[in-house]
A and B are shown apart, each in its own frame.
Chain A
């Protein structure tokens, strides 16, 4: 149980275009989902926290107009990187927390974004 999927697993896009990444909780309902970014040989950095049905809370330094997050249902959150640039190339990872009392976050497998 507690499986989180991401789609696509990797994507290549041209500079200036937008790309959408999906995060799904497959066997549980996720009231809260988190989006992280990880550059090579670095740690995971939280970008934003999204609660179902409300606006996402972005971490300091993360542009909310560039990284659009939608958490429209208890099983799906999307991250759209708008007007992507090569410096946005990174590994994007989502996680989900269920509706119970557990603290645990369940992580997705990640999406490798390459902007050319």
Chain B
């Protein structure tokens, strides 16, 4: 079955540093990946996504890298700010158990703490 996991459960950085959060996935059939930010007591917030036909995508202060060869993706946050402190989840999209819909499978999450 598909699984998506993270290498590091926690990451602590200084304000202004760059942060890198990693994620591994197992289902080579997944063709769409998303990074979400979740603050305490709130729903996930979309950060950036990438299709499997790309290996890099950039947004505002964020970059997602996808390495299909080793089934790995990463989220890079430039000039990390205290407001970036949250749990970050990667998710991959594949078919659900009935084969009738695409579903997201979430990784375990990484808690990012930004120290001022």
When the two chains form their complex, are residues B103 and A44 in contact, meaning their CB atoms are under 8 A apart?
no
Is residue A108 contacting chain B, with contact meaning CB distance below 8 A?
yes
Report chain A residues within 8 Å CB of B102: 103
Contacts of A57 in B (CB 8 A): 96-98, 100-101
Contacting residues of chain A (53-77) with chain B, CB-CB under 8 angstroms: 57, 59-60
CA distance A6 to B26 in the complex (A): 32
- B108 lies within 8 A of chain A by Cβ: yes
Residues of B within 8 A of A109 (CB): 42-43
* A32 CB-CB contact with B under 8 Å: yes
- Decide if B43 touches A107 in the complex (CB within 8 Å): yes
CB–CB B103/A43 < 8 A = no
* Neighbouring B residues of A34 by C-beta, 8 Å: 103-104
C-alpha gap A91/B87 in the complex (Å): 15
Which residues does chain B contribute within 8 Å of A51, judged by CB atoms? 101
Of the candidates B41, B97, B98, B104, the one whose C-beta lies within 8 Å of that of A105 is B104
Given A43-B109, A109-B42, A109-B43, do A49 and B101 touch, yes or no (CB 8 Å)? yes
Can you list 25 residue pairs at the A/B interface with Cβ under 8 Å?
Answer: A6-B43, A42-B108, A42-B109, A43-B89, A43-B108, A44-B44, A46-B96, A46-B103, A49-B100, A49-B103, A57-B97, A57-B98, A59-B97, A60-B97, A91-B41, A95-B43, A103-B93, A103-B102, A106-B46, A107-B45, A109-B42, A109-B43, A110-B42, A110-B43, A112-B41
The 8 A CB mask of B103-116 against A (1 = contact, 0 = none) is: 11111110000000
Per the bound structure, the CA–CA distance linking A107 and B89 in Å amounts to 13
Those of B26-83 within 8 Å (CB) of chain A:
32, 34, 36, 41-46, 49
Which residues does chain A contribute within 8 Å of B101, judged by CB atoms? 32, 49, 51, 57
* In the complex, chain A residues 15-50 whose Cβ is within 8 Å of any chain B Cβ: 32, 34, 42-46, 49
Q: Are A49 and B89 in contact (CB under 8 A)?
A: no
- Please provide the 9 A-B residue pairs with the shortest distance between their CB atoms, ordered closest to farther: A107-B43, A57-B98, A43-B106, A44-B106, A49-B101, A110-B43, A109-B43, A107-B44, A103-B32
- For the complex with contacts A57-B97, A60-B97, A107-B46, 13 further pairs of A-B residues with Cβ separation under 8 Å are A34-B103, A43-B89, A43-B106, A43-B108, A46-B104, A49-B100, A51-B101, A57-B98, A59-B96, A106-B46, A107-B36, A109-B42, A109-B43
